[in-house]
Structure 1
Amino acid sequence: MEPKWLEWAKQLQSIAQAGLTYSKDVYDLERFELIRNISVEMLSLHTDVSKTVIKDLFANETGYATPKVDVRSVVFKDNKILMVRENTDGDWSLPGGWGDIGLTPSEVAIKEVKEESGFDVKAIKLIGVLDMRCHPHPPSPYHIYKMFILCELIGGQAKEGIETSAVEFFAENELPPLSIARNTETQINLAFKHLHNPQESVYFD
């Protein structure tokens, strides 16, 4: 579970963002801007990130605050799972990324596999929707829902993408160092549950 200070900071940011969007009174707008500044101070105090960077991070968000969506693609071949090595941290993750405006979740899953691994896939079914706060990921300033979509390999060949430096399939008991910001070992285990039991229920929360 995420630390309480981070939960409070994100709640304050959410309140401030909604207030700055919908309020008309100049004094209320000042109060909501103050609330946003408090949330920025909290995040800056507990991290190595400057207040300017954090405020810029929040400033690109307008309207009613809602969770961001991260889509991860689960692809198997010969009982091994497809993973890509991330350039940002050198560790491994399921192909995936932020949901794109104008694309369905399955279209995002297909696109991310192609861009990050070179393979062509067909989306089969949703296997999980996870709230990032409820799993052992590093703290994030955003509230994130992670969607895991099982895909069938239909073509292509391994090829690194702009954001990836290697593409490989791994057995369940031979997982590489994981990019924990993107996926955890328990989430990979969940994916293998659906390989072993196609009737496995969709996991949520």
Structure 2
Amino acid sequence: MDKNEQWLQWAIELQSLAQAGLTYGKDVYDKERYERIREISAEIVSNMSDIPLGMVKSIFCNESGYQTPKLETRASIFENGKILLVRENDGKWSLPGGWCDVNVSVGENTVKEVKEESGLDVVADRIIAIQDRAKHNLPVYAYGICKVFVQCSVIGGQFEENIETTEYGYFEVDNLPELATEKNNEEQIKMCFDAYHTDEWKTLFD
């Protein structure tokens, strides 16, 4: 681990311990101490990242219960040997996807995100990989994320104007556009190509 990132790992661990203490602790004085530890973790992140403290608290310290990673899906869709990418508002490209909503499954969320970002109707066929984002993507986030890559088949639909993406296109593995690497990098796109070309693909996981 880069020494420059060690402070973030300490802050993440402090926040996780404090959140567990607030959830399971019974003594009112202990809860006050856990709350202060949580505040310190937010202050560390704010101080080291120049993100306003209030924003850090709203993102980093906004959960209750035992802390677990967030879940994100990314859809792998092919046509004539090329992979589907959507162009985001900043001009960079990504596999269709996003956070899993609380009331949908991984498969349902994958289908939903593809429809919202590309206009296409798909079915989720198989899991390509389940990855710990911190092991594959930069920058490092102050919370854990499990990325689920799902191979899908198109059954209909067409691109529709939306607030998240401006267009979509199909790309060859050796002619990829500028990627939104915080969401998916070249290695992950190539992994999806490998899965597409392998009938008996074995799901990868960290």
Of 34, 37, 43 in structure 2, the residue corresponding to residue 35 of structure 1 is: 37
* TM-score, normalised with respect to structure 1: 0.94
Q: Which runs of 4+ in 1 moved over 2 A?
A: 158-161
For residue 78 of structure 2, give the secondary structure of its aligned residue in structure 1: strand
CA distance in 2, matches of 1:17, 1:90: 37
Shift of 1:158: 2.2
Match of 1:130 in 2: 131
What is the CA RMSD across the aligned residues, in angstroms? 1.4
Amino acid at match of 1:143: G
How big is each residue's C-alpha offset from its partner over 1:73-117, in whole Å with a ceiling of 9 and x where there is no partner?
110011111111122x32111000111112111111111111100
CA distance in 1, matches of 2:19, 2:91: 34
Matches within 5 A, 1:100-115: 100-115=101-116
Amino acid at match of 1:9: A
Further displaced range: 110-119 or 24-33? 24-33
Match of 1:68 in 2: 70
CA distance in 1, matches of 2:23, 2:159: 45
Given that 1:72 and 1:147 are in contact with CA atoms closer than 8 Å, whether structure 2 keeps it comes out as yes
CA distance in 2, matches of 1:54, 1:119: 35
Shift of 1:191: 0.1
Amino acid at match of 2:22: L
For residue 156 of structure 2, give the secondary structure of its aligned residue in structure 1: strand
CA distance in 2, matches of 1:145, 1:67: 6
CA distance in 2, matches of 1:46, 1:186: 29
Shift of 1:166: 1.4
Matches within 5 A, 1:112-123: 112-123=113-124
CA distance in 2, matches of 1:104, 1:11: 28
CA distance in 1, matches of 2:11, 2:83: 36
Shift of 1:187: 0.5
Match of 2:20 in 1: 18
For residue 124 of structure 1, give the secondary structure of its aligned residue in structure 2: strand
CA distance in 2, matches of 1:202, 1:58: 31
Given that 1:137 and 1:184 are in contact with CA atoms closer than 8 Å, whether structure 2 keeps it comes out as no
Given that 2:137 and 2:183 are in contact with CA atoms closer than 8 Å, whether structure 1 keeps it comes out as no
Match of 2:46 in 1: 44
Given that 1:41 and 1:51 are in contact with CA atoms closer than 8 Å, whether structure 2 keeps it comes out as yes
Which runs of 5 or more structure 2 residues have no equivalent in the other structure?
none
Shift of 1:58: 3.0
Shift of 1:200: 2.5
CA distance in 2, matches of 1:40, 1:163: 29
Amino acid at match of 2:141: S
Closer, same or farther in 2 for the Cα pair 1:130/1:112, shift >3 Å? same
The aligned length equals 204
Identity within the alignment, %:
49
Given that 1:123 and 1:151 are in contact with CA atoms closer than 8 Å, whether structure 2 keeps it comes out as yes
Further displaced range: 14-23 or 67-76? 14-23
CA distance in 1, matches of 2:54, 2:131: 30
Given that 1:160 and 1:167 are in contact with CA atoms closer than 8 Å, whether structure 2 keeps it comes out as no
Given that 1:159 and 1:167 are in contact with CA atoms closer than 8 Å, whether structure 2 keeps it comes out as no
CA distance in 2, matches of 1:98, 1:73: 12
